[in-house]
């Protein structure tokens, strides 16, 4: 009886506060969560984790030594993935990040992609941005990955001590210059001779990831892999 009343209450509330798909904006139906079934089927999956020589990996050639690099989805302007990332970053949807991390984690687990990874490390936010947003979207993704892959979350190792201007209208060199000496390491002895997976939400020029990587690669014997939910072509 209680469960029936609860179901009626939820259905009544949904008339006034409907759950909408973060990709297309349509109403979610029973058993759908964050993303509708149609969008889950139609999203532009990259399958980069099945290709060692993929566009994300090539983007870092000659810049930083990377063991593996991949992204879950293609990012196109005005597309569904842009809507998803917008909801994740600006619409208070931290659980959407967890979901995306879990979804990609299942794909990676199916092909034993991350078997040698020791820590999953998110790209950190500056404390001021973290305070205003309330959460770090990259950490939300990393939490979902770590949970699914059963790998420790290493969110205490990399810190952003300098706030930077928006990267949106900057070119590749300007973006990298903007990120110089932004990140610092803590407890680096834990990372010696370890293989870490560095996680971000979207890869555009790769400048933020490169700056993070340069800090991490100061650790003796550290191996680095890179992952993002979306890749902007």
Residue range(s) occupied by CATH 3.40.50.2020 in the chain:
43-232
Instruction: Look at residue 9 in the predicted model and tell me its pLDDT.
Output: 43
C-beta separation of 98 from 143 below 8 A: yes
191: CB partners within 8 A, 6+ apart: 119, 154, 157, 185, 216, 219, 222
Task: Classify domain 43-232 by CATH number.
Answer: 3.40.50.2020
Q: Calculate the average pLDDT of the chain.
A: 88
pLDDT at residue 1 above 70? no
Within the chain, how many helices (H) and strands (E) appear? 9, 6
Instruction: Look at residue 103 in the predicted model and tell me its pLDDT.
Output: 98
Instruction: Look at residue 180 in the predicted model and tell me its pLDDT.
Output: 61
C-beta separation of 70 from 230 below 8 A: no
Instruction: Look at residue 168 in the predicted model and tell me its pLDDT.
Output: 52
190-227 pLDDT per residue, tens: 999 999 999 999 999 999 999 999 999 999 999 999 99
């Amino acid at each position: 009886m209680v469960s029936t009343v609860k179901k009626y209450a939820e259905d009544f509330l949904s008339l006034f506060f409907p759950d909408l798909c973060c990709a297309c904006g349509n109403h979610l139906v029973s058993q759908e969560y964050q993303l509708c079934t149609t969008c889950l089927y139609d999203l532009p999956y990259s399958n980069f984790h099945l290709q060692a020589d993929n566009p994300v990996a090539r983007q870092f050639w000659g810049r930083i030594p990377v063991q593996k690099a991949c992204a879950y989805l293609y990012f196109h302007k005005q597309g569904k993935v842009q809507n998803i990332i917008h909801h994740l970053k600006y619409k208070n949807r931290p659980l959407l990040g967890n979901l995306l991390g879990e979804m990609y984690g299942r794909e990676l687990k199916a092909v034993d992609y991350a078997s040698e990874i020791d820590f999953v490390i998110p790209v950190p936010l500056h404390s001021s941005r973290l305070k205003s947003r309330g959460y770090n979207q990259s950490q939300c993704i990393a939490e979902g990955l770590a949970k699914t892959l059963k790998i420790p979350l290493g969110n205490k190792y990399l810190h952003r001590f300098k706030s930077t201007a928006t990267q949106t209208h900057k070119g590749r060199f300007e973006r990298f210059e903007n990120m110089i000496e932004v990140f610092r390491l803590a407890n680096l002895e834990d990372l010696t001779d370890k293989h870490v997976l560095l996680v971000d939400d979207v890869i555009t020029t790769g400048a933020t990831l490169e700056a993070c990587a340069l800090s991490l690669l100061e650790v003796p014997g550290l191996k680095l892999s890179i992952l993002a939910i979306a890749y902007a072509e």
